A and B are shown apart, each in its own frame.
Chain A
């Protein structure tokens, strides 16, 4: 059935165009998420602080390890991080700056989470 036509036939261009469109649409949907506007700090799952991401400030929060020191959340325009935490392994501190809507830093020993949320509420999926 080999019809030795041209290397590229009309339908080929159509399929390639559809592929480009699909790739671009997926990229826009996955990566073009709205910029985060607020950092939510939760203690035991309840929001204890909502910090707008349009200024620079630091907030100290007493977590479950309160006797060992506070958890310090630092906010700069467009991003936030856990600057200090009394937890033994420092995972949430080492995670560094969060700048994408929906990203989370969990300080499990302190029962504190820091999450960025966008204007649309932000939470996409959280699975533990």
Chain B
């Protein structure tokens, strides 16, 4: 009987390493109590940003998707509402990062990309929540709080990623 063998190439291993780091970051963060569902530091995005700068958008997308899937499995959230919110946020921020990808790194660094992705993330989540979970415009009363959090955490994560990239130039 033939065995189906999957031979991981170096890129697979690299993606798995980054994804593991991103999953660990999101699990650590799940343990941090939050005053408001949706306000989270988004530490895994530091990993996504690093992958984006070092290896490009496709690899960043892989790591992000793996993180959402495996992270939700480990947290017991797979296919729960939180999973879909997480997935819509990740998808929206990947789209934003992809749209910014043609801009040269000299002009737009990790911080700007991080802030743009953070806003896209919360916008994607709010949109899904409005369409599905809380079909009422009252939800948008909280939008300024979410946006302010996106701004702060987007800047912080971007600076962390930029420093890590600078200090560990691969």
Residues of chain A whose beta carbon lies under 8 Å from any beta carbon of chain B:
1-16, 19-20, 22-23, 26-27, 30-31, 124-125, 127
Contacts and interface: CB of A to CB of B under 8 A. Distances in A.
B129 interface: no
A5 B40 CA distance: 28
B108 A30 contact: no
A125 B107 contact: no
Contacts of B58: none
B162 interface: yes
B135 A11 contact: no
Given A2-B169, A16-B155, A127-B136, A9 B112 contact: yes
B83 to A, nearest CB: 26
B24 interface: no
A60 B162 CA distance: 65
Given A2-B53, A15-B116, A7 B163 contact: yes
Contacts of A6: 109
Given A2-B165, A4-B166, A19-B147, A9 B108 contact: yes
Nearest to A15: B112
Contacts, number: 89
Contact of A30 (B109, B113, B143): B143
Interface in B146-166: 147-148, 150-151, 154-155, 158-159, 162-163, 165-166
Contacts of B107: 9-11
16 contacts: A3-B105, A5-B109, A7-B163, A9-B106, A9-B108, A10-B107, A12-B109, A12-B158, A15-B115, A16-B115, A16-B155, A19-B150, A20-B151, A30-B143, A124-B137, A127-B135
A5 B108 CA distance: 10
B1 to A, nearest CB: 45
Interface range, B side: 35 or more
A30 B145 CA distance: 11
Contact of B159 (A1, A7, A11, A27): A7
A19 B115 contact: yes
Contact of B141 (A12, A31, A127): A31
Given A2-B165, A23-B144, A31-B144, A11 B108 contact: yes
Contacts of A31: 141, 144
Contact of B108 (A1, A2, A15, A125): A15
B133 to A, nearest CB: 14
B103 interface: yes
Contacts of A3: 105-106
B119 A22 contact: yes
B136 A8 contact: no
Contacts of A19: 115, 119, 147, 150-151, 154
Contacts of B53: 1-2
